[in-house]
Structure 1
């Protein structure tokens, strides 16, 4: 029998009772913050949902995530948006709790989370019937789970398991599964983020690898059962946009098949406006492009063999939303894309709807675009705050774990961005301000 256990047994009953009460109060105080933040955020998001009911973007989610579209059709748009508000409230409270493990006080992280639930750029995303809302919330959950697992490692308790660790691993599995089910871009984000977590969390590496593999297998299993849950996506617009930029950079004779898809002048104009695939797809003959899929793929592969720099140039041009703080000025598609509300999003109460519309219109001032509608700035600020915290407290793994989801999003957009839609970087708009609160921690809390 150890000395510690002997002393514990010889202590008076009143001392042991006081110790149990002290631990109970400490556990309750740790739970109080995330529950309070989640409740406040949900209340604010419910006001937004009431203002734009049934959903901000209406009843027709954009293509690219068939499983999400099927879920929206099954439960209808309003209940789907309501479920997203509940998930967002939980994710924000969960992330605030994760940051508290690194010493961030609720007086800083709590108001930031509530502000994110109230501001039009982030709130409108949550109450939209769009797959980007799911990928954003999944990125928040993945980051929160990674930070909590890292905090347990720093405290020397990753092997003990227990309900808290099981919760974190379940949240991680749910986040990776949700990302994988939103399409190839979400699956790429999940793979990149999971790879970072595997490198930075060695003591739970086997569990993370197993859960990630199981989550990524879900869309594959659904596809084998006949549901297009994980489509490869329509690669024609991406490849054609690459060809258009190459044609604009160095004009060459177009084959008869490509000329039938779009006139040479349209190819050149789309190359000059390389920020979105719509610069060409708005001009081309859709039926002819569908029939010429093999010829487009062959021409793109030849371009990749002969001039890979032009393919990379086109991809980086469209991925400006992921890396650049300010929007470009090279054509009408270079500006930050901010979808407007659907005609049917009239809300449940007209004054509330009018207030939401007015606030969103106010913040669409061009001078605020780089600050409120582009996630790159907040991604860099959040990582800088994480780096400062890591330097102060000698926790080098904090930077990659905190930035795993955003980095995965940026890499996925570099590979397959189609336009400058601000919602594709929604994860950075949420995570950046919350990670910025790490800069407020000067000394590590002991409780």
Structure 2
């Protein structure tokens, strides 16, 4: 009788249930349809997407910088120039013509970031890490201003970091698979093809997102080769193919499509900055011919005063006293002068390089790290001065913020300002600390498991750091955004329970 009375109650999802319970039951049924292996990465992707949507609502249609308006000027006025990522400029053009705003582009960025974070989280599971720690790292990455708000920027650095996320996630999957193969058979087990394909796509995205992205790809490939040399064929493929595709686009496709070659001196600004620094230290290093070439480009006093500081190459090259056309004409003599400094006083070149890249190696930087502001007026007005056509651009309304929630905008601005506390800058915006932490976790695991393959998990991080150490114009946060994002997401490696294969679990 009691059993009959119980069976007469309303069904689990019947009309007697509250709307909340019905939606909960539908969500559980939907979750049960997802394969178990995909539930956790999809959940992590959803968590990160929720955090990113909060930033997107607060700074709709996206955060902007001087470069954002330069992309718009190039895309909407027919000035397609290969000084920025052409695929990304094309994305800006498509977003503006579809909606009149940057919103579709920035929304696609946060969706792609969420998917790649979920993929990386699945790779971390292979290292015997509790899911709670992985989830905590994902939430932390989505909440912190340096990492959470970054994917809302209209910046070519965003797809560059997305490529680094894809490559790092693929390596976690590969390394996790290699560790399950006996040491004696590791040379004959390259791993599944899917992670290698994702690794190649990530490398290609890094090449296409930045003109110097190929340098990061080459550095990452060399580090991988040093870690797992027995997989050299596949490493060569995922390294060489993206670089060759980039070279083919730059030398064949872009000129055929009418894209103008790079006209400024940004590719040589590092050499000119090192030259100016050497001149400020010892003017007697140079010959009369070299000094004449330098004077034809800019007054020697400008070379000396601009070179006296080593933090930024822009004061030298982005100045009315520096003539870009004359620099192109006298390029051979200027490079000869740089070679003179490198041969006779290499300490000046090393000093200038390490000075500009201090946020890539210094734990406590002794110079402020340059971070893009979250306001729009300064970059916009500076861009209009350089590109007057922007003032009458038909997409003028897209250049300004229209937050979907004023409360969210104020809260996001407050949280960002709090993160700029000088005492916190070294860890939140520096990037170098996250590199060292990641190396420490991976080295500790390598000593515990005694498998050399584990070192490959840090290859992308090392490639990103080496690129900044080799060539960077200034200590800009965006150049170390990739290591910062990866460092936060890889924090759970500190909680890995990996042991030697013969040890009990």
TM bucket (normalised to shorter chain) is 0.7 to 0.9
Q: Using the alignment, how far apart are the partners of 1:349 and 1:244 within structure 2?
A: 48
Q: 1:364 aligned to 2:424?
A: no
Alignment deviations for residues 297-335 of structure 1 (CA, whole Å, 9 cap, x no partner) = 33223333433332222212211121112222xxxxx42
User: Following the alignment from structure 2 to structure 1, what is the Cα–Cα distance between the partners of residues 172 and 46?
Assistant: 22
Q: Which one of 228, 242, 245 corresponds to residue 274 of structure 2? A: 242
Q: State yes or no: 1:60 paired with 2:92.
A: no
- Unaligned runs of at least 5 residues, structure 1: 1-24, 329-333
* 2:90 paired residue number: 70
Q: CA deviation at 1:204?
A: 4.6
CA, structure 1 residues 292+176, in 2 after alignment: closer, same or farther (shift >3 Å)? same
Mind listing any 5+ residue stretches in structure 2 that lack a counterpart? 1-31, 72-82, 97-101, 378-399
TM-score, structure 2 length as denominator? 0.75
Q: Which residue of 1 aligns with 2:373?
A: 340
**2:163 matched to which residue of 1?**
138
Is the contact between residue 137 and residue 490 of structure 2 (CA under 8 Å) also seen in structure 1? no
**Structure 2 counterpart SS, 1:48:** helix
Asked if 1 retains the 8 angstrom alpha-carbon contact of 2:361 and 2:432, the reply is: yes
Aligned residue number for residue 306 of structure 2: 270
Q: List per-residue Cα deviations over 1:137-162 (Å, max 9, x = no partner).
A: 2112111111211111111298788x
Is 1:227–2:282 an aligned residue pair? no
Give a deviation string over 1:186-228, Cα, whole Å, max 9, x none: 1111111122223434565423322332222211221233417
Q: How does 1:8-87 map to 2 (within 5 A)?
A: 28-57=35-64, 59-60=68-69, 63-76=83-96, 77-87=102-112
Q: How far is the alpha carbon of 1:102 from its aligned partner? A: 0.7
Q: Is the 8 A contact 2:127 2:498 kept in 1?
A: no
CA distance in 2, matches of 1:316, 1:346: 40
Where do residues 134-213 of structure 1 align in structure 2 (5 Å cutoff)?
A: 134-156=159-181, 165-201=192-228, 204-213=231-240
Deviation of the 1:374 alpha carbon: 0.6
2:317 is aligned to: 281
Partner SS, residue 225 of structure 1: helix
Q: Is 1:313 aligned with 2:387?
A: no
Shift of residue 60 of structure 1? 2.4
Decide whether the 8 Å contact of 2:175 with 2:457 is kept in 1.
no
Q: Which moved more, 1:274-283 or 1:249-258?
A: 249-258
Give, in whole Å, the separation in 1 of the partners of 2:273 and 2:251. Answer: 31
Moved over 6 A (4+): 157-161, 228-233
Larger CA deviation: 427-436 vs 80-89: 427-436
Tell me the alpha carbon deviations over residues 103-127 of structure 1, each in whole angstroms, 9 at most, x when there is no partner: 1111001121122112111122211
1:183–1:230 Cα contact (<8 Å) kept: no
Shift of the 178–369 alpha-carbon distance from structure 1 to 2, 3 Å rule, reads: same
Aligned 8 A contact 1:61 1:130 in 2? no
Structure 1 length-normalised TM: 0.84
| Larger Rg, first or second structure (1 or 2) | 2
Distance 2:57 2:151 in 1: 13
Quick one: distance in 2 between partners of 1:323 and 1:185? 19
- C-alpha contact 2:113 2:151 (8 A) present in aligned 1: yes
8 Å Cα contact 1:236/1:296 also seen in 2:
no
1:16 corresponds in structure 2 to none
Per the alignment, do residues 37 and 317 of structure 1 end up closer, same or farther by CA in structure 2, a change over 3 Å counting? Answer: same
CA distance in 2, matches of 1:227, 1:282: 26
Q: CA RMSD in A?
A: 2.8
Contact 2:61 2:106 (8 Å CA) reproduced: yes
SS in 1 for 2:149: helix
CA distance in 2, matches of 1:442, 1:239: 47
Q: How many residues align?
A: 414
